[in-house]
Structure 1
Amino acid sequence: MPTTISDPASLPHPTTATPSTAKPKKKSLWTNLGFQIVVAMVLGAAMGFVFPEVAVQLKILGDIFLRLIKTAVAPLVFLCVVVGVTSAGDFKRVGKVGLIAMLYFEIVSSIALAVGLLAGNVLGVGKGMADATKATLAQGKAPTGAAAPHSTLEFILNIFPDNFIGAFARGELLQVLVIALIFGAGLLHLSPEKRQPIENGLTKISDAFFEFIHLIMLVAPIGTFGAVAFAVGSSGSSVLLSLIYLILSFYAVVTIFIAVVLGTISAVFKINLLQFLNFIREEIYIVLGTASSESVLPRLLEKLPTYGCSRQSVGLVLPTGYAFNLDGTSIYMSMGVIFLANAYHVPLDLGQQLGILTVMLLTSKGAATVSGGSFVVFAATVAATGVLPLEGLPILFGVYRFMSIAIATANVIGNSVATVVTAKLAGEFDPEMARHALARLQAERAGAA
């Protein structure tokens, strides 16, 4: 029996929560956030090509936007998880959703790593690039501390916080998740009379944070413009032609992964992937512009419940997926390993590649908890292997910004699909609400056309 979910009118886009039979108000195209993001991306790219010196200075606009978003990510994760745990009513229900999610994460992450390794070998990324790497290494330098290895024990230890406030201040999502789960379990042990006012208070605070995000999203196009202008202005003219093949190959592999792997998963669980991608279209535009999956986490926490997933499942699965289900990061890491091996003529037999894949199964889970994101975790993995050259890291760092767009997009789409699949498997999904959400969205966009 699907979980009863709050009135959609209290969720995102309240002005569109009217019945699908009502005639939506006509909206101008320029008021649509997705349209604004696309225009900002085009203008930013043009600025980067025409005025690269000025464009580099616009990085601050993208940084300001991401900083504002990050201020709300950790508190929202905490609030959504705690409310999800207490709304579940008992910890067995929470455990059921969590177990299903973790099994799904491990299976799909392993597939993503294998796809990256296979594609890297078949496409031959990095072959014949020795001259290009030498030229780049003469100018580049790996980021400080990027090569520091992170052992499995260190990763496990880092999951558990040593300071309640510190976990929020550092933006350690895994630690915030642990705090939220324990805090939620503590609330469940209180009597209903004591628990009710605390639940109500947390729900109201959560609503306030969502309004906080709504205000920040008004400046998303400005942040996107600055981020894209900086990326093109700082790297567009210096990217070596020999690396274009790697970038294009990576985008092709990510596209194939989304279409084939996630498409197959969606078909098995009766999810129309194209309709679902259309449903989260604005979030995808934001990720394409900012190259950050964190920039849309608050919006997805609010939007996916309107698609039919219970608030409990969204609050538990989506934040956890940001740490444990990074499909784009997995593909990037495995293709990056093959690129370095080919570029520096380091032979890797099947046994060595499978061994590196096992290492990446662990290190890829730390991308959300290590400062610097996917590249720093990749660099740590390269150091941990002991067979790949650290000297190859600067050349990959030079084009990481371009690849990070596809990485973040794949991570967001993968986690959104994972949330819906987990909700269905756990009986936390309402298909009728999903149909209504798609109908409302179609009516809204038709009215804006």
Structure 2
Amino acid sequence: MFEPILKLLKKTGVSFWIVVALPLGIIFGQFLPKFTEQVIQYFGPVFISMVKCLVVPLIFSTLYVGIVGHGNDLKAVGRLAVKSILYFEFVTTLALIFGLIMANIVKPGKGANISGVSLDGLTLASPMKWSDYFGKVVPVSFFSAASSNEVLQVVFCSIMFSIASVQVPDSSRKSMSDFMKALSNIMFKVTSLVMNYAPVGVFAAVAHTVAKNGLGILASLGKLVLTLYGTLIIFIALVFVPMMILCKISIKPFSKAVMQPAILAFTTASSESALPIALQNLEAFGIPPNIVSFVLPTGYSFNLDGSTLYLSLAAMFCAQAANVHLPVSKQILLVLTLMLSSKGVAAVPRASLVVLSATIESFGIPREGIGLILGVDAFMDMARTCTNLLGNCLATVVMARWEHEFPPYGRWEGRYAGMDPRLNNESESNTIDPRTAEIDKMA
């Protein structure tokens, strides 16, 4: 009875079932909303919780292995940090400009009616200042940071611990290095096990989103949603793709590597759900562990391309809906304001909405426009989260290229035949990375 099902499972990968779960979730959420709210929705948080359990040990162990593997070359860590921050600032600024330009061209807020919109049910925490956010980089306790999944704080602790390990004799750190290597390998295996539940989690998350918000609301605010999706696609085409060409990154293999984490980020609207599998896939793609484990988690706080683009677009939507004219000078000031405030977007409740609310108020724009956005924010969150993930994966590969730790396209033609591109040194053993084949299975 179950033999045909087992054969089908063997022939298809997890990504296939995630794609199948997406329309099924829409159907259940639209036509069985009560059943979804009473039963199905509870399966989604289980998947997110399972993934969150992986994040801290995975980041800590892989970053340790990568930094200690560099030996005494601690300058490389500092150089990587400076290059990453400069890259993040450049790309997120481009995202803000793209959102601003498209808002002026399409004018999604023109004709929107904010009269009668109530904000009584909208409670937003006070936005964090840059100084407050900078202070949150250093945790009071590693265990408090780990328990609350403060990714940037975990990265900080891991870097400090790894640098200290490099400075002690080999005999003192050997046992710790062996432990961390084993932990890293085991956590990647656990990630593979957790991903088997991903289709169920995606199905429940999508069903709950549709049941709660309904597809009908897309008709009234469809112009805003389509403008965001279209702008993100244009941004990817005009920024990400040229960056890949400029840095000589082969588009097809990279697309295979990021496909499954991108699908997870889109369907769950959660960056954390995609982080473990993104770490795994990028390492299998050939990026050194120290670069993957540093750039990718750091980008989750500093390189939110989709969220920053959304902020400038949403701010202009609110201005247009309230018939508030912003001259070019004020729009430039708006971009400069969002350049700073958006860097703390991942560290506050209701994330983007908090930053958006504080920004538009400072420019004299009524907050009622946010009440309109709330109705479709869940659908827009899916797109911007996916773009955030893609941008951080690309940033990781770009940093590896700039550090000469990842070869230009064409040199690893045998990559997907089982060759490990990290075997650039002939003195190393030509062994096959067990994670290498994971991308092909998921593609």
TM-score relative to the length of structure 2:
0.87
Residues 279-318 of structure 1 correspond to what in structure 2 (within 5 A)? Answer: 279-318=257-296
Are residues 151 and 28 of structure 1, via their aligned partners in 2, closer, same or farther at CA, if it must alter by over 3 Å? closer
Determine whether 1:83 maps to 2:83.
no
Q: Tell me if the contact between 1:308 and 1:433 (Cα under 8 Å) persists in the aligned partners.
A: no
Residues 429-444 of structure 1 correspond to what in structure 2 (within 5 A)? Answer: 429-431=406-408, 434-439=412-417
C-alpha distance in structure 1 between counterparts of 2:374 and 2:204, whole Å:
20
Q: Tell me if the contact between 1:266 and 1:272 (Cα under 8 Å) persists in the aligned partners.
A: yes
Q: Hey, what does 1:169 align to over in structure 2?
A: 147
Determine whether 1:33 maps to 2:11.
no
Which residue, 141, 159, 164 being the options, matches 2:121?
141
Residues 149-188 of structure 1 correspond to what in structure 2 (within 5 A)? Answer: 149-188=127-166
Q: Secondary structure at the match of 1:134?
A: coil
Cα drift, residue 344 of structure 1? 0.9
Cα drift, residue 250 of structure 1? 0.5
Name the stretch that deviates more: 358-367 or 35-44: 358-367
Q: Hey, what does 1:120 align to over in structure 2?
A: 103
Q: Hey, what does 1:51 align to over in structure 2?
A: 32
Are residues 447 and 311 of structure 1, via their aligned partners in 2, closer, same or farther at CA, if it must alter by over 3 Å? closer
C-alpha distance in structure 2 between counterparts of 1:445 and 1:330, whole Å:
29
Cα drift, residue 448 of structure 1? 10
Q: Hey, what does 1:414 align to over in structure 2?
A: 391
What amino acid is the match of 1:329? S
Residues 2-401 of structure 1 correspond to what in structure 2 (within 5 A)? Answer: 31-57=12-38, 58-89=40-71, 90-130=73-113, 133-135=114-116, 137-138=117-118, 141-142=121-122, 144-146=123-125, 148-239=126-217, 241-383=219-361, 385-401=362-378
Q: Tell me if the contact between 1:29 and 1:448 (Cα under 8 Å) persists in the aligned partners.
A: no
Cα drift, residue 420 of structure 1? 0.8
Q: Tell me if the contact between 2:13 and 2:441 (Cα under 8 Å) persists in the aligned partners.
A: no
Q: Secondary structure at the match of 2:136?
A: helix
Q: Tell me if the contact between 1:173 and 1:368 (Cα under 8 Å) persists in the aligned partners.
A: no
Unaligned runs of 5+ in 2: 1-6, 419-434
Q: How many residues align?
A: 418
Cα drift, residue 333 of structure 1? 0.7
TM-score relative to the length of structure 1:
0.86
C-alpha distance in structure 2 between counterparts of 1:447 and 1:283, whole Å:
13
Q: Tell me if the contact between 1:41 and 1:228 (Cα under 8 Å) persists in the aligned partners.
A: yes
C-alpha distance in structure 1 between counterparts of 2:60 and 2:154, whole Å:
6
Q: Hey, what does 2:421 align to over in structure 1?
A: none
Are residues 295 and 446 of structure 1, via their aligned partners in 2, closer, same or farther at CA, if it must alter by over 3 Å? closer
C-alpha distance in structure 1 between counterparts of 2:328 and 2:162, whole Å:
45
C-alpha distance in structure 2 between counterparts of 1:304 and 1:237, whole Å:
35
Are residues 434 and 314 of structure 1, via their aligned partners in 2, closer, same or farther at CA, if it must alter by over 3 Å? farther
Give CA deviations for 1:67-105 in whole Å, capped at 9, x if unaligned. Answer: 211122133222222222212222111112222211111
Give CA deviations for 1:48-74 in whole Å, capped at 9, x if unaligned. Answer: 121122223332221221121112213
What amino acid is the match of 1:267? I
What amino acid is the match of 2:176? I
Are residues 139 and 185 of structure 1, via their aligned partners in 2, closer, same or farther at CA, if it must alter by over 3 Å? closer
Q: Tell me if the contact between 2:128 and 2:348 (Cα under 8 Å) persists in the aligned partners.
A: no
C-alpha distance in structure 2 between counterparts of 1:448 and 1:183, whole Å:
34
What amino acid is the match of 2:87? Y
The RMSD of aligned alpha carbons is 2.6
What amino acid is the match of 1:116? G
Name the stretch that deviates more: 238-247 or 336-345: 238-247
Q: Secondary structure at the match of 1:280?
A: helix
Q: Tell me if the contact between 1:309 and 1:430 (Cα under 8 Å) persists in the aligned partners.
A: no
What amino acid is the match of 2:60? F
Q: Tell me if the contact between 1:126 and 1:343 (Cα under 8 Å) persists in the aligned partners.
A: yes
Q: Tell me if the contact between 1:105 and 1:321 (Cα under 8 Å) persists in the aligned partners.
A: yes
Are residues 109 and 438 of structure 1, via their aligned partners in 2, closer, same or farther at CA, if it must alter by over 3 Å? farther
